[in-house]
Structures are given as C-alpha cells and as structure tokens.
Amino acid sequence: MAAIQASPRLRQRKASLKMRLVPYLFLLPNMAIFGLFTVWPAINGFNISMYSSSNGRTFRWEGAGNYQRILTDEDFWGIVRNTVVYALSFVVLSVVLGVMLAVLVDQQRRGRTFFRSVFFVPVLISPVVAGLVWNWMLERQNGLINTFLRSFGIPEVPWLVDNNLAMVVVIGVGTWMQVGFYMLILLAGLQSIDPSVYEAAKIDGASRWRQFISLTFPLLQPSILVVVVLATIHGFQAFDFIYTLTGGGPVGATTLIVQYIYENGFVSPIRYGVASAGSVLLFCAIFALTIVNWMIGRKREAA
C-alpha cells in the first residue's frame, strides 16, 4: 500500500526534475556559442586592453597605459573626428532620405512594390563590391561620373583624391548602401498608422505638408527612433565598403575607428594594446549613444 502510494510521487518528482532540465538543454548549444564568442570576449575585451603585445601571443601588463597612449595620440583623435563626422552625417542622411523615400513610396499607388524592392537592392549587395564599383565609377579621368559631368562642361572632380571630397563620397556611398533598409522600417511604421486619423485633417482642409508635419511625423516617431538607434550603431561600425572604396585614404582622411582597430590588431606593425583600447572606447561610445537615443525617444513619447 505504501509502496503503491510512493511510486507515482517519486516518478512525478523525477519527471519534474527532467522537465526542469529540458529548457536548459534546449538553450545550451546557442548559449555555449554565444557565451564563448560574444559574452566572454566582450568581458575579456576590457582585460586585454590593459596589456600590450606586438604579436598577439606574448603580453605585457600596461594598466591604463594603452588608454593614456591612445588618448594623447593625435592620429587617434583624427580618426575619432572622421568617425564622428561620418556617423553623424550618415544618421542624419539616413533618417531624412529614409523618411522621404518611405513617404513617397507609401503614397505611390502604381508600382509601390517595385520601388520598394529597387531601393532595397543596394542593401543586398556585398559591401566590398559596392566600394569597388563606386571606386571605379568615381575614377578621376575615365570614371562614369566624371565622364557624365564632362558632358555638361563640368571639369574633372577629384572625388577620391581630395580629402574632404573623399569623406563626402564615403558618406554618400554608406548612405546609398543602407537607406533602403531604413526606408523599409519607416514604411512599415507609416503603414501601421490608422488612415482614419487623416480624415479629420482632410475635413479641416489641412495641406499635405501640414498633414505630414502635424500627423505623420509625430506618429512615425517610434520608427524614426529605431532607425536612429540602428543607424548610429551602423555608422560607428562602417568599414567594409571603405576598404575597397578609398582604403581609408587619401592619407587617412577616411580612416574610421574600425579600420584603425583592424590595422593595429592585425596588420604589422601590430599594436594590440592600442587596438583593444580603441575597441573598448568604441564600445563605450556605441553603448552611451544607444542609451541617450532611447532616453530622448522616451521623453518625446511621454511629452
């Protein structure tokens, strides 16, 4: 009698222990890879930035020495300046052009899907190829763009030779590659706005511009916030297309922080400590900006 009573309870307890383990087993493979290749490196990154190495194998303790070195390095501040100029212009252009394209595509009845797809094509193509093609098209003497301009009597533009123009080109190509992605997010935001809110405005005889400013724009703000956050993160990470577009040149005029990290970490002469200190500073910048963006977004929503 006692045995009969005990056995189902025992089985139940056993089963529940197994049941409690099951979700962890499901999580294990993902979290193992995730922990090993993302979480642990993120923590270890701070640690590494306290050491220096010229080959990536033997390390010497530096303490805050790397930070001291990097923060007093004029080249580094030049790279910070380039990165901020790029990221800021990229975010502003992405939002402005993204909203513009999204609104136009949304209002377009005929061929809406076509335009949406076409604007998304540059997002799909390999950034390495994008940089390569634009480099080719912007070639000074024989490039497609200068040839086109010449037919209007405009003299050769030194796109990739002049420091400031090269930065303009990098910003332009970076935006060209990503704006279709942001447009999609904004378009989804636009389409989730209840069309009936426009009815009242139409009855009041508000112009389209007025409707945009006082209705569309405020209702679109959650999507704009998402775009600002993503574009900020994207902007600070830009590297791949620049590698084939300008290579960071002329004379470092378009070298951004990720290229700086890559070159110091992997291209001789290797300065591991400087590279990892740069990575930590980049992480802090992205983290702080993301928080600031969300806080501004929250405040706006509350107001």
Partner 1 sequence: MSNSTVTESAPEIAPSKTWTSTGRRKVTSTDALRVVILVTSALLALIPIVWLVLGSFKTPAELSKRPPTLLPESWGLSNYTEAMTRFNFPLYLTNSVIVTLGATLLTLAINSMAAYALAKYNFRGKNGLFLLTLATIMIPLQVILLPVYQVVASLGLVNTLWGLIIPAAATPTGVFILRQYMLSIPDELIEAARVDGAGEFRVFVRIVLPMCRPALAVVAILSIMWRWNDFLWPLVVAQSESVYTLPVALARFTAEETVPFNLIIAMSVVTVLPVIILFLFFQRQIVTGIANTGIK
**Are the C-beta atoms of residues 246 and 170 closer than 8 Å to each other?**
yes
Placement of tokens 């634009």 in the chain: 134
Which tokens go with 61?
């303790």
By CB under 8 A, is residue 216 in contact with partner 1?
A: no
E strand segments, 54-173: 60-61
- φ, ψ of residue 51 to 5 degrees: the values are -115, 165
Name which position in 78, 247, 252, 297 contacts partner 1 (CB under 8 A): 247
Distances from the Cα of 240 to the Cα of 128, 144, 192, 247, angstroms: 6, 23, 34, 9
Site residues for partner 1, window 55-84 (CB under 8 A)?
56
Residues between 24 and 53 that touch partner 1 (CB under 8 A): 24, 26-27, 29-31, 33-34, 36-42, 44-45, 48
The C-alpha angle 291, 294, 300, rounded to 5 degrees, equals: 140
The verdict on 197 binding partner 1 (CB under 8 A) reads no
> Is residue 120 part of the contact set for partner 1 (CB under 8 A)?
yes
By CB under 8 A, what part of segment 250-269 binds partner 1?
A: 258, 261-262, 265-266
Provide DSSP, 259-275. HHHHHHHHSSSP-HHHH
Q: Does 212 bind partner 1 (CB under 8 A)?
A: no
Q: Is 168 in the site for partner 1 (CB under 8 A)?
A: no
Question: CB of 84: closest distance to partner 1 in angstroms?
Answer: 16
Window contacting partner 1 (CB under 8 A); options: 84-92, 137-145, 158-166, 295-303: 137-145
Question: Which residues between 268 and 297 bind partner 1 (CB under 8 A)?
Answer: 272, 275-276, 279-280, 282-283, 286-287, 290
